[in-house]
Amino acid sequence: MDQRLTEYTITDLEDNIKIYRLTLKQCYYQLKLDSNMKLKFRDHETEVAVVYFRSGYSPHQYPTEHEWEARRTIEKSAAIKCPWIGAQLAGSKKIQQVLTNYRELVNFQSDRTCSNMMDTFAKIYSLDSDNADRECLLNKVRKNPHGYVLKPQREGGGNNLFGQAAFNFLESVSETDLESYILMERLKPMVHENILVRANQPLHLDEMDSEFGTFGYVLGSRDSVLDQAQYGHLFRTKPAADNEGGTIKGTAGHDAPFLIF
């Protein structure tokens, strides 16, 4: 849904802009680099100005070397990538965990800003084998599994482990596999009453919680930021009893905040 709105906005700006939807495998067969590192179609030499990734965020989306080679070709090109590989990795759970460490965060912001930011963070912990506190953390999860969330390096929802599932995972996972997860204190959002409208399901008042996120962009090169801004927001609501909600799966819905000043 969200990517279609982006597509329609672009075509509203200029009728001559062409938008192609390709899988990574199709990119391997149809795209190439010219001598100036411009990304072009093999059959009609049309240059690709922007690549907007709707796939390529999980290992299973690279089943063969063709998908990896397509990604390498795109990354080496002069086309604008959304996101480029560095930005994609910077948004991973591991980097989120690292940036909750004040000593790391202060490399990018002032002391005052870092202090304000730290006040908003949930506690996130590394599960690397060189973390001296790892066994103590794992024992805390075993004693109170409902107070924590285990998160892998995945995007798109449906991958986190909560409660008993987190406990069972800790009892069976190898130390090596555990290092690919981070541990976060579970958030306890405000619960409110609302009605979730879903296809072919009756309406009823239920306890809900909501998530507020902002849209923004940053345009730049490896050396400088050319432009950046925050535009709009997304407000999603799900049943409070559910660990995770997804609008595509029908377990959450788009909502609008009612602000009281």
Q: If you write DSSP's letter for every residue of 17-63 in order, what string do you get?
A: -------HHHHHHHEEE-TT--EEETTT-PBP-EEE-SS-SSGGG--
pLDDT for the residue numbered 67: 98
- pTM for the model: 0.81
Q: How far apart are CA 84 and CA 82, in angstroms?
A: 6
* Residues contacting 156, CB < 8 A, separation 6+: 57, 58
Residues of the chain with pLDDT under 70: 1-2, 156-158
In eight-state DSSP terms, residue 149 is E
Q: Cα–chain-centroid distance for residue 4?
A: 18
Helix (H) or strand (E) holding 77: none
* Residues contacting 126, CB < 8 A, separation 6+: 97, 98, 134, 182, 183
Tens digit of each residue's pLDDT (9 = 90 or more) over 31-56 = 999 999 999 999 999 999 999 999 99
Q: How far apart are CA 140 and CA 132, in angstroms?
A: 14
Tokens at 33, concatenated: 């680099």
